[in-house]
Structure 1
Amino acid sequence: MSAELPHIPLLYVVLFLYYEPLAAFGGAMLCHFDAPQFLKTMDATAVYAPDSQVIFNQLAATYLLFAFNEGVVLRITKDLKIWKVMLLGIVLCDFVHLYASWCVMGTAVFLRPWIWRPEDWLAVGTIWAPLFVRLAFLAEVGIKRVEGKERVS
């Protein structure tokens, strides 16, 4: 039996169905069409090599998959289990993204956001709030069980 989602709180709707798909699409376009700029947002010291463009194109494809999954798949399913599995996958990606950023930035910078560059805020700072919202959704914050079914209120 599927766990239906008759109503999803506005915060989840805005983040998962609108903001993140658009942000992922924007990231895909940046990776594909301006990889040197994308690389600068990840690591100020990295040097773009045109021979590595294929990697940026593949990353762009992955971002398009994120955009599709959140922007389309979550819109067409009303099954809470599907939502939770998809969002758990993105949480795993978030943790790896944050770990990679920590490796590049170093602990002294990573733990001191007041000294981050604007690019660091784009690459790392924008991961934290959505991550906590995803974790809240996975913990069923705002989800009420009604008549034996899971319901998001």
Structure 2
Amino acid sequence: MPSTVEIPLPYRVLFLYIEPLGAFFGVFVNLLAPITYLKSLSPQATAVTYSPLDQPIYDQLAAHLLFFAWAQAIVLRSTSDIYVWKTLLFGMALCDVLHLWASYSILGPEVFFNPAKWRWEEWVNFVMLYGPGGLRLAFCAEWGFGKQRKME
């Protein structure tokens, strides 16, 4: 039986509007300016030139981002069942962990754990991972829901 509750406004704004728009923007960057995306994730990529042979990788990443945008903007908007929300957002949190691991792998601990050494790209990437990623986990723990009673 579905368990419906009123989703708190900050979660609705982030997960139904802000994140889907960001993911949708990422779709276009990967399709139209893939080297920009790569350089934003890896400081070592500054000497990299674009190869059309790599485009399928960017296309697949764009597909992944399009699914994230659709899942949040459409699937979450179609239900108030907290179990559906938690299931989807926890899966996205797992993706966040892998994104952070990839960043750690390329930056190394001396940059990853030292904001003073971050480029503006790291600030954007980490704010978009730590912030919403942490809020996904907070949502799954029902932080900020107060003493709402389940609506039958």
Q: With structure 2 as the length reference, what TM-score do the two structures score?
A: 0.92
Higher strand share: 1
Query: Does the aligned pair in 1 maintain the 2:7–2:80 contact within 8 Å?
Result: no
Query: Does the aligned pair in 2 maintain the 1:42–1:119 contact within 8 Å?
Result: yes
1:60 corresponds to 2:62: yes
Q: Which amino acid aligns with 1:59?
A: L
Residue range with higher mean Cα deviation, 15-24 or 121-130: 121-130
SS of the counterpart of 1:65? Answer: helix
Q: Which amino acid aligns with 1:17?
A: L
Q: Which residue of 2 aligns with 1:22?
A: 21
Residue range with higher mean Cα deviation, 43-52 or 30-39: 43-52
SS of the counterpart of 2:2? Answer: coil
Map Cα deviations across residues 118-148 of structure 1 (whole Å, 9 max, x no partner): 11112223211111111110101123352xx
Map Cα deviations across residues 84-110 of structure 1 (whole Å, 9 max, x no partner): 000001000000000000000000000
Q: RMSD of the alignment, in Å?
A: 1.5
Q: Which residue of 1 aligns with 2:122?
A: 120
Q: Which residue of 2 aligns with 1:4?
A: 4
Misfit runs of 4+, over 6 Å: none
State the distance in 2 between where 1:52 and 1:33 align.
13
Query: Does the aligned pair in 1 maintain the 2:2–2:83 contact within 8 Å?
Result: yes
1:45 corresponds to 2:44: yes
Structure 2 counterpart of 1:136, from 127, 135, 138? 138
Q: With structure 1 as the length reference, what TM-score do the two structures score?
A: 0.91
- How many pairs does the alignment contain? 148
Q: CA 1:145–1:54 in 2, change beyond 3 Å: closer, same or farther? A: same
CA positional deviation for 1:65: 0.1
Structure 1 counterpart of 2:78, from 76, 82, 86? 76
Structure 2, unaligned runs of 5 or more: none
